[in-house]
């Protein structure tokens, strides 16, 4: 079976897509034929009449655009699919995954396999991360956000669950204070206990940012003014639910922000417009006053009308922030640069079995494997 590297995480939105793109593009530039495969997905996306996973399609388009669409993500955990599976209407999911993997892997030297959610996702169907790693014989790279010593404990547990399939860990979105905690004794302890730390990637504002256009598309929201602001990058989100005096002090501390507040809170909206603000998200489907609209137009601040209440809108923004970290060419290039600088990519090559000199994979090329089988 074609060798593979399976990217999983101990927390949601830990950077699996970023890692898949960065590692895959690094290997491809070294002359290695790379494929991308996502056995289990959660984001249905229809392309040319075929429904696949949105992230799987996005990454595959950049790594192996000729891959068969219907094989990229054989199991989509939609509510309908889960209902049918739990009722026993769907069988042989493991066989479906193996067959789809073989189709994607044909003609490839290595396949990057994308995980979904955390290690436990898919367990109801017997498709947890450890189960899939064993099924495909993949080496597993664990992504983790390091926020405290508890993050290291989660990685140690993942190491135990994955057994011999485990290859190492990359800590992602690491702040300056967290990096100080992680480096030194903690890293040495993990290494000594069979838990290699293959990278420590600092938190990056560009990768955490979301464009106004993405907010409009994915909230979804109605753009009320300032179309020229669609490509502005929002780096911070502030919930405007406090008194106006407190809000004004807080707003002045943050630039490049979007303020989420009720459409009837003209006082909060005006306070936001008096500080560096990229967008105001008006919740509850309540239109702003004419005064607010005119002032936003003068300043070029986008006004977005969201159909949900404030709490639901905040939850959707959090989901969007996790999903869209590496969408767009600028983010992809920034992610690659961070990986090149902060991740031991040569060590990862060796884990997969591609430990020859750059540009010359040590595995038998796919064309030769085909001729000998």
Q: How many CA atoms lie within 13 A of 14 on its CB side?
A: 27
Q: Last residue of some domain: 322, 346, 363? A: 322
- For residue 24, CA distances in Å to 60, 130, 240, 312 come to 10, 22, 41, 35
How far apart are alpha carbons 73 and 52 in whole angstroms? 6
What does the DSSP 8-state code read for residue 68? -
How far apart are alpha carbons 197 and 335 in whole angstroms? 18
Specify the pTM: 0.80
What confidence score (pLDDT) does residue 324 get? 57
How far apart are alpha carbons 151 and 351 in whole angstroms? 23
CATH number for the domain including 117? 3.40.50.300
Q: Tell me how far apart the terminal alpha carbons of the chain are, to the nearest angstrom.
A: 11
What confidence score (pLDDT) does residue 85 get? 85
- Domain assignment of residue 169, given as a range: 4-204+325-371
Under 8 Å CB-to-CB from 104, ≥6 apart: which residues? 35, 36, 37, 64, 67, 68, 71, 72, 111
What confidence score (pLDDT) does residue 367 get? 39
**Overall residue count recorded for the chain in this entry:** 373
How far apart are alpha carbons 362 and 341 in whole angstroms? 24
Under 8 Å CB-to-CB from 192, ≥6 apart: which residues? none
Q: Which residues of the chain fall below pLDDT 50? A: 357-373
How far apart are alpha carbons 172 and 197 in whole angstroms? 11
Q: Last residue of some domain: 284, 302, 322? A: 322
Residue 231: helix, strand or coil by DSSP?
coil
Residue whose C-alpha is closest to residue 35's, from 77, 75, 76, 73: 73
Residue 77: helix, strand or coil by DSSP?
coil
What confidence score (pLDDT) does residue 368 get? 43
What confidence score (pLDDT) does residue 364 get? 46
H-run or E-run covering 299? helix 290-299
What confidence score (pLDDT) does residue 327 get? 64
* 336-362: pLDDT as tens digits: 999 999 999 999 999 998 865 444 444
What confidence score (pLDDT) does residue 157 get? 96
Same domain, yes or no, for 285 and 334? no
Same domain, yes or no, for 217 and 246? yes
3-state secondary structure 327-371: CCHHHHHHHHHHHHHHECHHHHHHHHCCCCCCCCCCCCCHHHHHH
What confidence score (pLDDT) does residue 322 get? 64
CATH number for the domain including 253? 3.40.1390.20
Same domain, yes or no, for 11 and 66? yes
Residue 320, φ and ψ in degrees, nearest 5: -65, -45
Same domain, yes or no, for 35 and 95? yes
Same domain, yes or no, for 143 and 279? no
Number of domains in the chain: 2
């Amino acid at each position: 079976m074609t060798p593979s590297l399976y990217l999983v995480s101990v927390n949601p939105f830990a950077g699996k897509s970023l890692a898949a793109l960065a590692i895959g593009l690094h290997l491809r530039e070294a002359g290695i034929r790379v494929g991308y495969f996502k056995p289990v997905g959660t984001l249905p996306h229809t392309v040319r009449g075929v429904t696949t996973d949105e992230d799987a399609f996005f990454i595959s388009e950049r790594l192996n655009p000729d891959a068969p669409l219907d094989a990229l993500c054989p199991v989509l955990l939609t509510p309908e699919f889960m209902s049918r599976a739990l009722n026993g209407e769907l069988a042989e999911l493991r066989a479906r995954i193996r067959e789809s993997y073989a189709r994607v892997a044909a003609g490839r030297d290595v396949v990057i396999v994308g995980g979904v959610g955390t290690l436990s996702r898919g367990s109801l169907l017997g498709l947890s991360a450890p189960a899939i790693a064993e099924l495909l014989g993949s080496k597993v790279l664990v992504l983790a956000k390091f926020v405290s010593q508890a993050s290291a404990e989660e990685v140690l547990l993942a190491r135990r669950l994955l057994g011999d399939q485990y290859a190492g860990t990359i800590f992602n979105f690491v702040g300056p204070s967290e990096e100080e905690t992680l480096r030194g004794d903690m890293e040495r302890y993990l290494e000594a206990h069979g838990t290699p730390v293959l990278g420590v990637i600092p938190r990056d504002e560009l990768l955490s940012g979301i464009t106004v256009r993405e907010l409009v598309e994915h909230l979804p929201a109605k753009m009320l003014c300032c179309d020229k602001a669609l490509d502005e990058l929002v780096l911070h989100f502030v919930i405007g639910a406090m008194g106006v005096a407190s809000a004004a002090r807080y707003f002045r501390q943050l630039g490049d922000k979007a303020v989420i507040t009720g459409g009837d809170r003209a006082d909060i909206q005006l306070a936001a417009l008096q500080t560096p603000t990229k967008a105001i998200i008006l919740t509850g489907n309540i239109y702003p006053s004419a005064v607010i609209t005119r002032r936003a137009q003068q300043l070029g601040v986008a006004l977005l009308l969201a159909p949900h209440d404030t709490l639901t809108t905040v939850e959707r923004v959090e989901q969007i922030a996790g999903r869209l970290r590496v969408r767009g060419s600028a983010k992809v290039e920034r992610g690659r640069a961070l990986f090149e600088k902060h991740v031991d990519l040569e060590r990862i090559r060796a884990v997969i079995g591609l430990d020859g000199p750059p540009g010359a994979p040590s595995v038998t090329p796919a064309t030769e494997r085909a001729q000998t089988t």
